[in-house]
Amino acid sequence: MASGTALIYDEEMTSHKLLWNDPVCDIEVPERLSCCYEQLKSYHLVERCVHVPAREGSEEEILLVHSSEHLEVAKSTQTMNEEELRRVSGNYDAFYFHPSTYRCARLAVGATLQLVDAVMSGQVCNGMALVRPPGHHSQRNAANGFCLFNNVAIAAEYAKLKYGLQRILIVDWDVHHGQGTQYIFEEDPSVLYFSWHRYEHQEFWPSLRESDYDAVGLGKGKGLNINLPWNQVGMGNADYLAAFFHVLLPVAFEFDPELVLVSSGYDSGIGDPEGQMNATPEVFAHLTYFLMQLASGKLCVILEGGYHLKSLSESVCMTVKTLLGDPVPQLTGEMAPCLSAVESIQNVRAAHKPYWKCFMYEDIPFLQNVSTRSHLLKKTDPNPSPEHGSEITNNKETAKVERFLKLHMKNILSPVPPIKTATTDSKVSAQLLPVPVPLIKEMDKTEVKALVSAFYADLVKEDKTLLSLGSMLAILDKILKKEVCSGITESPSAAVSVAVALRHSIHFGFQR
């Protein structure tokens, strides 16, 4: 059984950048890659991974998916001046060329294939490739949505050819529909493609009819294309988990893939200006963990979108940590999916009922516009702002999410209290505790008195009570510092102790 996690990063892929003003494309910046790598370093995750070098994808490999015309156009941009680059870029929907774009896109393809080789050869168990430009919008004959070559689609064809694979699962958790990937594998029964995406009843880019849940694949590929359109913004952890539990995972286990590729866009995470979703970084740890249970753990994660640098890099770290086998952090907050999410999930299950045993024996009626009939049923915006599009609002929003994430990640990643019980009483520890934990020095009486304050002073006249309170406060300190999870002490007056305990906790800023 293979072990280890590959990480592929090549600084050269930061040289592809926008040379002119374009408000559509200006979010796809080189810092997306460098920030992720810096954050991985700061968590000491880089040194825990197996470094696998990138390489250029060959022309032959690119032609597994793309037309030679597309390859030639891309190649020809290497020697163009800015004016010519602008003109060629204008032929596509949301794409820019830089003289280094062709080289970077070939490295992005090659990096992805290196990852597939590392996993398929058993050099590592799984891994992640940090690449630019991304790939999932790119089509046989066209660049689209910041993507030139479809890295993940090429990887799937490559894996079929080189390793004779017959079942590959592509999970696209980017917030945009990977329509490029859908088109490439629509009729292919060997590739199961799953994508969730911001859709808003076809209002959101790329605004395609074929991104809806009823696009299930064509011909021999029927049932192997799964679209889960999000018809409202603000989807969060609960909605993503519900999508995995009720759509992707049942089908994925039934399909039983030999390899899993993730089109790993983090624009589905909180704070992203494109996605406008609410999922926090640690949800990606959970999504990763679920996918690690398939294909004997053979999981290749390839970067696609993600435009809020802090949210993006924290989410990438969560993914890599999980690939490395670290325990997944707890998810907090509302755990019920919203009505709009339930509607979408129900509809895709109904659409796929004819193709999957896991849905066949269930009664799943289609739901139409249940969630959108009334504004009262819409998902509540946690940060209600009447002008979502305005620049000021967005900048404020970005900074707010950055501050939120700084605190949030500290809470999530701080070690949980060990299962240890503190006690002051050696008799109790000897009898009840497998591992007695000696208490830090007890507070002296004046300290306790000061904490208890005049309000309770008449309740704690007795010395014994005072001492007991002292022990209790000392234990609480240990609990709040997360050194222990509980404590035992003698208490002649439980009521008083509890009251003081609460005050003390509040004094320390304990919020839950």
Site for ligand X5A in 290-309 (CB under 6 A): 304-305
Q: Which pair of tokens denotes residue 451?
A: 């904490």
Instruction: Decide if 16 is catalytic.
Output: no
Q: Binding of ligand X5A at residue 367 (CB under 6 A)?
A: no
Asked if 175 and 198 touch (Cβ cutoff 8 Å), the reply is yes
Min dist CB 381 to ligand X5A, Å, is 22
End-to-end CA distance of the chain: 43
Instruction: Kindly report the backbone phi and psi dihedral angles of residue 137, in degrees, each rounded to the nearest multiple of 5, phi listed first.
Output: -90, -15
d(CA 244, CA 196): 10
Catalytic residue, candidates 98, 137, 308, 352: 137
Rounded to an integer, what is the distance from CA 96 to the centroid of its chain?
26
Site for ligand X5A in 177-196 (CB under 6 A): none
Q: Binding of ligand X5A at residue 265 (CB under 6 A)?
A: yes
Closer to Zn ion by CB, 160 or 198: give it: 198
| Residue 145 binds: one of ligand X5A, Zn ion, none (C-beta under 5 to 8 A by kind) | ligand X5A
* Listed ranges 142-150, 190-198, 241-249, 396-404: which one lies at the site for ligand X5A (CB under 6 A): 142-150
3-state secondary structure 317-338: HHHHHHHCCCCCCCCCCCCCCC
Closer to Zn ion by CB, 43 or 266: give it: 266
Min dist CB 32 to Zn ion, Å, is 11
| Residue 24 binds: one of Zn ion, ligand X5A, none (C-beta under 5 to 8 A by kind) | ligand X5A
Min dist CB 305 to ligand X5A, Å, is 2
Site string for ligand X5A, 161-180 (x = CB under 6 A): -------------x-x----
CA angle 443, 415, 289 (to 5 degrees): 160
Q: Which of 37, 97, 146, 149 binds ligand X5A (CB under 6 A)?
A: 146
Closer to Zn ion by CB, 205 or 359: give it: 205
Min dist CB 196 to ligand X5A, Å, is 13
CB atoms within 10 A of CB 481: 11
**Using omega within 30 degrees of 0 as the cis cutoff, is the peptide bond preceding 438 cis?**
no
Min dist CB 418 to Zn ion, Å, is 40
Closer to ligand X5A by CB, 186 or 267: give it: 267
Alpha carbon separation from 160 to 149, 156, 290, 356 (Å, rounded): 18, 6, 23, 23
Min dist CB 368 to ligand X5A, Å, is 28
Asked if 276 and 233 touch (Cβ cutoff 8 Å), the reply is yes
What is the SS3 assignment for 352?
helix
Closer to ligand X5A by CB, 107 or 476: give it: 107
Number of residues that bind ligand X5A (CB under 6 A): 14
Q: Which residue is nearest to Zn ion (CB)?
A: 305
Site for ligand X5A in 67-126 (CB under 6 A): 94
Positions that interact with Zn ion (CB under 5 A): 174, 176, 265, 267, 305
d(CA 482, CA 414): 9
Closer to ligand X5A by CB, 258 or 304: give it: 304
Asked if 480 and 503 touch (Cβ cutoff 8 Å), the reply is no
Q: Which of 157, 186, 267, 343 binds ligand X5A (CB under 6 A)?
A: 267
Min dist CB 305 to Zn ion, Å, is 3
Q: Binding of ligand X5A at residue 204 (CB under 6 A)?
A: no
Asked if 294 and 258 touch (Cβ cutoff 8 Å), the reply is no
Q: Which pair of tokens denotes residue 409?
A: 């990640």
Asked if 226 and 191 touch (Cβ cutoff 8 Å), the reply is no
3-state secondary structure 254-314: HHCCCEEEEEECCCCEECCCCCCECECHHHHHHHHHHHCCCHHHCEEEEECCCCCHHHHHH
Q: Which residues bind ligand X5A (CB under 6 A)?
A: 24, 94, 134, 137, 145-147, 174, 176, 205, 265, 267, 304-305
Residues labelled catalytic: 137
